[in-house]
């Protein structure tokens, strides 16, 4: 009864009984709570009325569960490797120990029932037991101990890293400096001082190393983020962001200025976003970098997109299509006219798929023109145009719609429109497909069939786009298991249930997970593969679209035609041993 009574008490009452806070401190926090909409414990910590450990000891009494100090706990690395990384990162827990039918984990939010159900399904344990630990300890272990990528270049002398590297500026650096020599600075910063700081050998070396490490670790993006006391360098590898390097705050201005100089940007501008680019040559390999600078309350943030053409696979067979879907895709992109639309969120590989399609059908007998924002990679034999905005004169801006109108006067056979964003672009795209051109484009929608609703919301008549459409493709990217540390995992009834299949079917397949090694930066993943929901627009489907049938009716029709969903495509790759179980779970969660 005593335990039940404590469970019903509010955390403030418990903390007072523990003599951790006074009634006055609690009252002050309660007065502030409605305006801040934060938990009472967070406010008390902010007021320095108590520390985090004391708060969580009080929460352990409130919920009647054990509190553990993870600073003194010995982590079971073998057990942790058995748990999907994405699951641990999503729900923020630490596996501590296992028994034949149960798993004990440390959590900071014991009220998240969805977390416990997901862990059961993903791990196959019948029972999940939990203990309480502080949020800061759990996040520190996840981000700094378990999943911080091993930098493969840490033990390599910096001189060896940079000896084969040459930065190629689009203009000579001295000309860039002169272009600002007669311009009054836009702030109280001194141009010569900024230039001198950014030219220091230590800063140049640091920036070059950050960039080169990203290339070596196969990062797609470099994030240099400004915080109150530090600068944090992060890399996006296989779609996931990893903390790599904290840098002293004092170096922030010099680092950003150095990157701006490399990108031909105004180093005195601190309050407006800027975009630029530069090239890097490493051992005769040319790599392009696209730079975006964004101001924040703690200074300027910088994101650098790594455009390494050498890593891009433009072979359709290597993108992840299943054989039957690939045949449908190749047949439709070879048609003389029609509209092929790819749907998916940003970063799902849509542009790479379209480039691969163009590479396959490219020939001297066809004229291919693209209008993109921006041009990601150059394709030999294809005329590529990049849209741009003229801030001084809108009439001199090149939009998708304006570029598309110009393209139609150049007698193209095949057109690629980077993205359909508005009514004008959508209308011209559909009309181009109806007048004898093969048109490829992308659109933001969650699934292929939701493309129909998206076009209708933009304002296009369903009868028009139904006549133009020949192919709809939904796309996602999922991480592949590292082949160097691929480890077989146990097949359990709960695992079968989480995959939605019978145990008998699961027993005929082998499932794997990456244990982590130097080849994958200890993540267990290496590279990504595509999931494709391929819908061929047949006459009966075209008629249903023109009749404005609902998404549910269209989905039911496609299910009868056995069109594979993204989830089914992912399940097939899991059962083939290419993709880990956690990626399937994340796809089903809508991540």
Q: Which H helix or E strand runs over 104? A: strand 102-107
Domain shared by 387 and 340, yes or no: yes
The answer to whether residue 164 sits within a structural domain is yes
Is residue 136 located within the same domain as residue 163?
A: no
| Number of domains within the chain | 4
Residue 470 lies in a domain: yes
- Do 377 and 338 fall into the same domain? yes
pLDDT of residue 329: 94
Task: Please check whether residues 226 and 305 belong to one and the same domain.
Answer: yes
pLDDT digits (tens, 9 = 90+) for 129-143: 888 998 888 888 887
Report phi then psi at 246, rounded to 5. -85, 140
pLDDT at 16 over 90: no
* Over residues 293-308, mean pLDDT: 92
16 and 129 within one domain? no
Phi, psi of 368 (to 5 degrees): -115, 130
The pLDDT value recorded for residue 178 is: 32
Over residues 158-184, the mean pLDDT reads 40
In angstroms, the CA 62 to CA 368 distance is 67
CA atoms of 561 and 305, how far apart (whole Å): 40
Whether residues 260 and 340 fall in one domain: no
Query: What is the pTM for the complete model shown?
Result: 0.68
The whole domain housing 214 covers 158-311
- The count of residues in the chain is 591
**238-270, pLDDT tens digit by residue?**
888 888 888 888 888 888 988 998 898 988 888
- Note whether 340 and 256 are same-domain residues: no
> If you average pLDDT over residues 563-584, what whole number do you get?
90
**CATH number for position 461:** 3.40.50.300
Cis before residue 302, ω within 30 degrees of 0?
Answer: no
In a domain, 344, yes or no: yes
Q: What is the CATH number of the domain that holds 252?
A: 3.30.450.90
Residue 151: inside a domain: no
**Which of 67-71, 160-164, 554-558 ranks highest by mean pLDDT?**
554-558
pLDDT class of 469 with cuts at 50, 70, 90: very high
Provide the pLDDT confidence category of residue 590 given band limits of 50, 70 and 90: low
The whole-angstrom separation of Cα 52 and Cα 135 is 8
Strand partners, 368: 414
């Amino acid at each position: 009864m005593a335990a039940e009574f404590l469970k019903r008490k509010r955390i403030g009452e418990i903390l007072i009984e523990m003599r951790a806070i006074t009634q006055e401190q609690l009252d002050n926090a309660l007065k502030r709570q409605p305006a801040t909409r934060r938990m009472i414990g967070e406010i008390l910590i902010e007021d320095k009325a108590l520390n985090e450990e004391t708060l969580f000891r009080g929460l352990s009494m409130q919920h009647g569960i054990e509190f553990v100090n993870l600073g003194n706990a010995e982590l079971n690395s073998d057990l942790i490797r058995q748990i999907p990384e994405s699951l641990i990162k999503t729900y923020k827990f630490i596996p501590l120990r296992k028994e034949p039918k149960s798993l004990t984990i440390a959590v900071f939010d014991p009220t998240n029932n969805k977390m416990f159900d997901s862990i059961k399904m993903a791990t196959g344990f019948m029972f999940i037991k939990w203990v309480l630990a502080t949020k800061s300890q759990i996040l520190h272990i996840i981000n700094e101990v378990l999943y911080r990528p091993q930098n493969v270049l840490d033990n390599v002398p910096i001189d060896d890293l940079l000896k084969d590297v040459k930065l190629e500026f689009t203009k000579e650096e001295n000309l860039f400096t002169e272009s600002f020599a007669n311009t009054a600075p836009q702030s109280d910063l001194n141009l010569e001082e900024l230039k001198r700081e950014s030219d220091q050998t230590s800063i140049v070396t640091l920036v070059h190393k950050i960039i080169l490490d990203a290339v070596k670790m196969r990062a797609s993006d470099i994030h240099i983020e400004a915080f109150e006391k530090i600068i944090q360098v992060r890399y996006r590898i296989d779609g996931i962001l990893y903390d790599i390097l904290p840098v002293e705050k004092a170096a922030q201005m010099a680092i950003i200025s150095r990157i701006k100089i490399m990108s031909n940007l105004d180093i005195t501008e601190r309050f407006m976003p800027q975009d630029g680019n530069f090239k890097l040559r490493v051992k005769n390999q040319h790599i392009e970098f696209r730079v975006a600078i964004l101001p924040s309350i703690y200074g300027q943030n910088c994101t650098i997109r790594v455009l390494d053409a050498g890593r891009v696979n433009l072979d359709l067979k290597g993108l992840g299509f299943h054989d039957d879907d690939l045949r449908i895709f190749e047949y439709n992109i070879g048609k003389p006219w029609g509209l092929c639309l790819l749907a998916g969120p940003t970063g799902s590989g849509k542009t790479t798929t379209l480039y691969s399609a163009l590479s396959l059908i490219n020939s001297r007998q066809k004229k291919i023109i693209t209008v993109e924002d921006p041009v990601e990679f150059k394709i030999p034999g294809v005329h590529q145009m990049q849209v741009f905005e003229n801030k001084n004169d809108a009439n001199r801006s090149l939009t998708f719609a304006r570029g598309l109108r110009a393209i139609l006067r150049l007698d193209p056979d095949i057109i690629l429109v980077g993205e359909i964003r508005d009514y004008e672009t959508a209308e011209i795209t559909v009309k181009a497909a109806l007048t004898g051109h093969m048109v490829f484009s992308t659109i933001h929608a969650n699934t292929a069939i939701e493309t129909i609703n998206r076009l209708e919301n933009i304002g296009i008549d369903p009868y028009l786009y139904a006549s133009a459409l020949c192919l709809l493709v939904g796309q996602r990217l999922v991480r592949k298991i590292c082949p160097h540390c691929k480890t077989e995992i146990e097949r359990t009834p709960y695992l079968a249930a989480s995959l939605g299949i019978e145990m008998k079917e699961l027993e005929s397949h082998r499932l794997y997970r990456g244990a982590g090694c130097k080849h994958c930066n200890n993540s267990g993943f290496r590279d990504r593969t595509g999931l494709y929901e391929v819908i061929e627009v047949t006459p009966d489907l075209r008629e249903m679209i023109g009749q404005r049938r609902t998404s549910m009716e269209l989905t039911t029709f496609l299910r009868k035609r056995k069109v594979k969903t993204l989830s089914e495509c992912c399940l097939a790759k899991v059962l083939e041993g290419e993709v880990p179980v956690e990626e399937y779970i994340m796809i089903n969660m809508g991540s």
